[in-house]
Amino acid sequence: MKTSIAHNHPQDVYTAVLDSEDFGDDDALHAWAEAFMANIDQQKTLANPDWDIIAIYWENQFLNKSVNDIESAFTILEVGARAGNRHCAAVLGAAIIFLYSRRQVVADGLSWLARAAEEGVTDAHYALLRWYSRRWNANDLRDYEDVDLGLDSCYEPTKKSPPVPFPSGREDCIRQAWFWALRGTVAGCKLCAEKVAGFDLPPEIRYSDIDLLRKAAATGNPSARLAYARYAYREDSSAKERRKAADTLRELAEDGFAEAQLSYAMAIESGPEDCRGTTPADAVKWYLAAAENGLPEAMRWLGVHLEKGDLVPADRNKAAEWFRKGAEAGEGNCQFFHGSILLENAQSDKDCREAARWIRRAAEENDVPSAWVMMSRFYTTGIGLYVNRKKAAACLKRAKELGWMPNPDSL
C-alpha cells in the first residue's frame, strides 16, 4: 500500500509517501517494529523496503509525540541510514535537527538530511530549508550555543555521516536556505518552490550558483524565472540574451507578478530596444501595475516619474499620494519624499514635527542618506525637533558614511 507520512514540527510541515506492506492496522505495525528492534540478527539482513517501513513507523511516532525511548529510536534509524536507506536518513536527520541545538549533534543531523536529499528524498530539502531559514530569521543566535533543548544527551554524533559544516553565521544560513530552496524546487518539492519568492537577497548570494538557478527557472517556478531573467538582463549580456530575459519579464508581468512588473518597467525605461513593441511611457504603466499590487519600490518610482514628468505628464498631487502610500508601506525614500513634501507645505510647528517624524523614520529605519542630512538640519535649526549640535554632527557623519557628498554649489 501507499502510506502517507506527515512530519509536523512547530512552523514545519512536510509529507512523504512511501511503499510499504499492509500490516492491517497500527497495532500490527507497532508489534512488528518492536519485535524487529529487539532482533539484532534480523536487522543485519533487512531489505530496503523493510527499512522504509521502519522510517514510516518512527516518523509517525515523532508525529504523535509518542516516542518514549528516543535513544532506541535514533539507534535503529541510524542502523537503517548506515545500511543505505535514504528514508531512515531523512527521518533521523529531521529528528536530530529539530530536537537538539548542540553544534556537533545538529551538524550530524544536517549531514543525514543532506545525504537523503542527494539520494532523492524530496522532503529532506524542505527540512533543510526550514532549519536554515529559522536560524537566519532568529532574533539572536542562541541556537548556536552548545546546550540541549531540555533533552537528555541520548544522541552523540558519529562523525561518519557525510560532512555538512555547521553554519558560521547569518549570511551562511541565508545562503544555505536559498541553496536548498532551489535544490528542492529542482527536485520537485512544492513547498520549497513556494518559499523561493520569499527571499530578499543581495546579488552575491542570489547569483552564487547560476547553474542551479537556471535549473530551478527551467522548472517554471515564477520566482526562479524572475531571478534568472534579472541576472540575464544586464549590461554585459548579449542582445539576444537581453531580449529573451525581457520576454520572460513581460510574460511574468502579464501574469500579475508584481516583482516582474517592476523589473519589466525598469527594463523598458533603461533599454526599450530590448522590450519589443514598447515605448518609455509604457514603463509607467507597469510601475502603476506593480504599485497597485502593493510593491513599495514601485510606488517610489511611480512617484518619481509623476513628480519629474519625464515619461508622462507631471502630476505632483498624484506623485505625493504615491509617496505617502510608499511611506506607509515602509519604503525609505518614500518616507523621505513624503516628509519633504509635508515640510514644504507646513503651516504650523505641528506640521513641521509631522514632517520630521517621517524623515526621521527614513533615516533611522532605512538609512536614507538625504534623510540623515535633513535630520542634521533639524537639529541645527530646531525646526521639527530641537537644537542639538552634537546630534546634528552625528547625523551628518552618518550621511557621509553612506556616501553622501555635499553639493559645492550649496556651500
To 10 degrees, the CA torsion angle through 162, 167, 172, 175? 40
- Location of C-alpha cell 512488528: 32
Beta carbons within 8 Å of 246's beta carbon, 6+ residues apart: 229, 233, 264, 267, 271, 274, 275, 276
Domains of the chain: 1-199 (no CATH), 330-411 (1.25.40.10)
The DSSP line for 213-265 is HHHHHHTT-HHHHHHHHHHHSSTTS-HHHHHHHHHHHHHHHHTT-HHHHHHHH
Find the DSSP H helices in 39-68. Answer: 40-45, 48-63
- Location of C-alpha cell 541576472: 231
Strands 2-9 and 12-19: antiparallel
Residue 18 reports pLDDT greater than 70: no
User: In 3D, which of 361, 362, 197 has the Cα closest to residue 295?
Assistant: 197
Q: Among 60-69, 310-319, 395-404, which stretch is predicted with the lowest mean pLDDT? A: 60-69
CA distance 21 to 10: 30
Length of the chain counted residue by residue? 411
| Pair 302, 285: CB distance under 8 Å | no
* Radius of gyration, alpha carbons of the chain: 28
Beta carbons within 8 Å of 78's beta carbon, 6+ residues apart: 88, 92, 158
Measured at the CA of 29, the angle between CA 90 and CA 89, to 5 degrees, comes to 10
**Could you tell me the pLDDT band of residue 156, with boundaries at 50, 70 and 90?**
low
CA distances to 165, 181, 240, 302 from 212, rounded to whole Å, are 20, 10, 22, 34
Q: Collapse the DSSP code of 289 into the 3-class scheme (helix H, G, I; strand E, B; otherwise coil) and give the result.
A: helix
Is 280 or 285 the better-scoring residue by pLDDT? 285
Q: Which amino acid is at 70?
A: I
Residue 220 reports pLDDT greater than 70: yes
The tens digit of pLDDT for each residue in 257-281 reads 999 999 999 999 988 888 988 988 8
Q: Encode 284-323: b = buried (16+ Cβ within 10 Å), e = exposed.
A: bbbbbbbbeeebbbbbbbbbbbbbeeebbeeeeeebbbbb
Q: Give me 227's grid cell.
A: 531571478
Q: Give me 364's grid cell.
A: 533611522
CA distance 94 to 86: 12
Beta carbons within 8 Å of 382's beta carbon, 6+ residues apart: none
pLDDT of residue 134: 81
Is 75 or 156 the better-scoring residue by pLDDT? 75
User: In 3D, which of 162, 172, 76, 159 has the Cα closest to residue 131?
Assistant: 172
Q: Collapse the DSSP code of 270 into the 3-class scheme (helix H, G, I; strand E, B; otherwise coil) and give the result.
A: helix
Cβ–Cβ contacts within 10 Å for residue 396, how many? 19
The tens digit of pLDDT for each residue in 338-377 reads 999 999 999 999 999 999 999 999 999 999 999 999 999 9
Residue 21 reports pLDDT greater than 60: no
CA distance 109 to 323: 48
The tens digit of pLDDT for each residue in 25-62 reads 566 666 766 666 666 565 666 677 777 777 877 777 77
CA distance 135 to 143: 7
Query: Chain-wide mean pLDDT for the chain?
Result: 83
User: In 3D, which of 195, 202, 142 has the Cα closest to residue 175?
Assistant: 202
